[in-house]
Amino acid sequence: MNQKTKETPGYVIPLIIVGVMFFVMGFGVGISGFLIPALKSAFSLTTGQSYLVTAAIFSAFVIFGRPTGWVIKKIGYRRSMVLAFLIMALGMWMFVPSSRAVSFPLFLVALFVQGIGNTLLQGSVNPYITILGPENTAAVRLSLMGIMNKLAWWIAPVFLAIFIDLKDVRIDDVVLPFYIVTGILLVLSIFIYFAPLPEVSAAGEDDEEAPESSYAKGKTSVLQFPHLLLGVLALFLYVGIETLPMASVIDFARAAFGDVPNLESYSKFVTLGMVLGYIFVVIAIPRFVTQKKALIGFAGLGILASLLLIYLPPRLAFFAILLATFSNALMWPAIWPLAIKDLGKFTKAGASLLVMAIVGGAIIPLIFGFIVDAIKTGEEALVADYQAAYWVMVPCYLFILYFAAWGHKVRSRS
């Protein structure tokens, strides 16, 4: 099947179903925003050690990114989604024995298994939603999916806060919520198995077909696409700076405002910024601006937001997170189609490389956490320490700006 050239009414239901899957992916990542301060308190971890929570989730992407492409090629997009839900359910269930053993390493293993499922789900649903309609509206479709994804980022810590008190963390309190989440994931795997999701493929994606793109013709390896490799690095940096506000928002809020009630509620600012950004994308692209030009503008906005986060007085700087997350909203929807363009039969392999780039969500926050530990002078990090560590975001946005303005064009010069 060749890539669809327009959306039809028949694809409304698949879009809704895939939206549910994006919500689940967001929940799987969003739990780390709550578990970082919770496990830090329960196990008396340093700031850097606590960010191993995100590292455990996202390291699965680099280890299982390439195998994901092989699995999708063998069993197709839909069955890969079903398998992903089952693996995620296993990871969520593993929180129960981890809590009963009161073992931080076991928690990390559980998060890693959950990350494996998330890797497979990302590798299947992102190219699926890109292929499902015309290229010039790919950013719009991915933005609609992003709204579902980021709503879950906020709901995950709010849901866990029903069962776990950050001021008095008891590890055995995680048992009931993760039993509930495991059950939901199992039900969803059954639903997706029977759901009316058509199998789709990019033009020339099947090995027996000649690539439709003259650019892909004659190439023997996915590594021969320089625009893809630059896109992988851009996505690596983007996921890192997208994850960093979610991972650090509660700690930063505590440092900026003190130990106020309902600290988990500050996670809504991360979601709010990105949802507003996604709404802008849906309204403006491609009606008023192309996704490539918008990516350039949003990367510049991210640089500005980073500097405000660093230099404004703490209580004002906190709200620069809104601007940073707003600028992040377009990046995944715009980088992905630019990087995967004209890969032909290498589309699934290219998608697996892009999925591997999601490991940036482990590396960048971990670097941030160890910078905080390195520069703090007391037992607890001060708000100024967090602000100084946010410098890690600036070079990331600068490279994304390069990819948006010039990097993706190397495809046509090769």
pLDDT confidence of 4, banded at 50, 70, 90?
A: very low
CATH code, 233? 1.20.1250.20
pLDDT in tens, 161-185: 888 877 777 877 878 888 888 998 8
**Residue 364 DSSP symbol:** H
pLDDT confidence of 136, banded at 50, 70, 90?
A: low
Burial of 169 (0-12, 13-18, 19+ CB in 10 A): middle
Q: What does the alpha-carbon distance between residue 236 and residue 234 come to, in Å, rounded to a whole number?
A: 5
Q: What is the pLDDT of residue 61?
A: 79
Could you tell me the two tokens for 80?
Answer: 């890969």
Could you tell me the two tokens for 38?
Answer: 């919770």
**Residue 172 falls inside a structural domain:** yes
What is the number of structural domains in the chain? 1
pLDDT in tens, 326-363: 988 878 778 887 888 777 777 777 877 887 888 888 88
Place of tokens 């939901």: 184
pLDDT confidence of 63, banded at 50, 70, 90?
A: confident
**Residue 280 falls inside a structural domain:** yes
Q: What's the whole-number average pLDDT of the chain?
A: 81
**Residue 4 falls inside a structural domain:** no
Cα 5 to Cα 133, 203, 283, distances in angstroms? 6, 10, 21
Helix (H, G, I), strand (E, B) or coil at 94: coil
Q: What is the pLDDT of residue 109?
A: 93
**Residue 290 falls inside a structural domain:** yes
Instruction: Identify which has the larger pLDDT, 17 or 307.
Output: 307
pTM for this model (two decimals): 0.72
Which of 190-204, 236-250, 288-302, 390-404 comes out lowest in average pLDDT? 190-204
pLDDT confidence of 273, banded at 50, 70, 90?
A: confident
pLDDT in tens, 145-163: 877 877 787 788 788 888 8
Q: What is the pLDDT of residue 294?
A: 84
**Residue 260 falls inside a structural domain:** yes
**Residue 207 falls inside a structural domain:** no
**Across 12-22, average pLDDT:** 81
pLDDT confidence of 264, banded at 50, 70, 90?
A: low
pLDDT > 90? residue 71: no
Q: Which domain holds residue 300?
A: 9-201+216-413
Q: What is the pLDDT of residue 214?
A: 65
**Across 360-372, average pLDDT:** 88
**Residue 206 falls inside a structural domain:** no
Q: What is the pLDDT of residue 403?
A: 93
Closest residue by Cα to residue 47 from 267, 325, 244, 302: 244
**Residue 3 falls inside a structural domain:** no
Q: What is the pLDDT of residue 200?
A: 60
